[in-house]
A and B are shown apart, each in its own frame.
Chain A
Amino acid sequence: MSADGIAAPPGASPLAAIRAVPRAGWHVATVAATHRETPNASRIELDVDGWPGNAAGQHLDVRLTAPDAYTATRSYSIASSGDSTRVVLAVDKLPDGEVSPFLVDDLRAGDQLEVHGPLGAFFVWRPAVESGDDRPVQLIAGGSGVVPLYAMAHAHADASDPTPFRLLYSVRTPRDVYFADEWRALAAASAPLQVDLVYTRQAPDDWPAPPGRITREALEAAVIPAAERPRVYVCGSTGFVERVADWLVGLGHAPGDIRTERYGGT
């Protein structure tokens, strides 16, 4: 960087980042299947004609069009990665939302919508063999914020990547865990992954800690220590991400090692 004292942006590599990512475009998507992920969320599998594949952690824009040409567009993280044209989303229903209640409750197999993507070249994880980066990875999710992190953990397992991964996942109740069966399978796979859950409203009967929002102490106990220089990906509502990222900096993690994705809301 030419200007003294003005640091390069954290993790920003030059134009290589743009070239590494397929060019985004509009695609017609056909709903292959939808099913309840949690009482409040649906998993949506799309067949996307001409989808160029995507990296773990990227998102797309969904555009819905009404008969009178009114449109609404929202961003959704992609739970899948790789070359496949089958693209998986998981959407949480906001009670007063315009798009998410439609996607969660009304969308069914055979419906079509438009997607624009893949998008984002920053909140992504690539296997150590590709990136030459074998620093451990700490994933931290609140609620639906787990979607891009699940894509990362899945890509990590698919690549049998030796990088240590740890997930700290805050959910309301045991029924609100996205990808519950998949986490069990991933934790048993050869790529190293440890999953730690925090329950904010209701914990399983035999759970050692009472339900409640994550605390600084609980965070410290459940994340890879700053001394090991993990790369940290934090995703969830704005309030969650703000709180967690502040604590991480307080615990000695370098701000440039912490990547965040905020879904809005508080």
Chain B
Amino acid sequence: MNPRFSLLLILTAGLAVAFPPLPVPTVAPQARTFQVDAGQFAYSPSKIFVNPGDTVTLELVSTDVVHGIYIDGYDISFEADPGQTQTLTFIADKPGSFRFRCNVTCGAMHPFMIGKLMVGTNDWLYRSVGLAALAVLGVTISRKQEV
């Protein structure tokens, strides 16, 4: 096989891995409520799994000082004092993996107080690993033919 051709093939395969929409699993959206305890410097639970389209309600319970939650990608936030549980309801309409983090300075490790919201499967991860595998394959093949 001509190296240009194989590179083209790899490139096409790469595009095929990176962009087309995956079949969305048909799970009926539902309402879910999570109580999230926030203490210096972690959330519990620190990982929240929902399906795309779910109506998600977070109940934030601060257990030591004032904490908050800001969700990357969704750009929504709220905060709660200890003893004053606050709730936030939103529709998880963006699939993927998002970090949520404390948005109220809460001590030294505040910038690293992080949790994860997983909406459906983490497509970006799988696609990226697929791309990485293809890239490795592409580099290996094209080099072999040059030698």
Genuine A/B complex? no
Question: Which residues of A pack against B, CB within 8 Å?
Answer: none
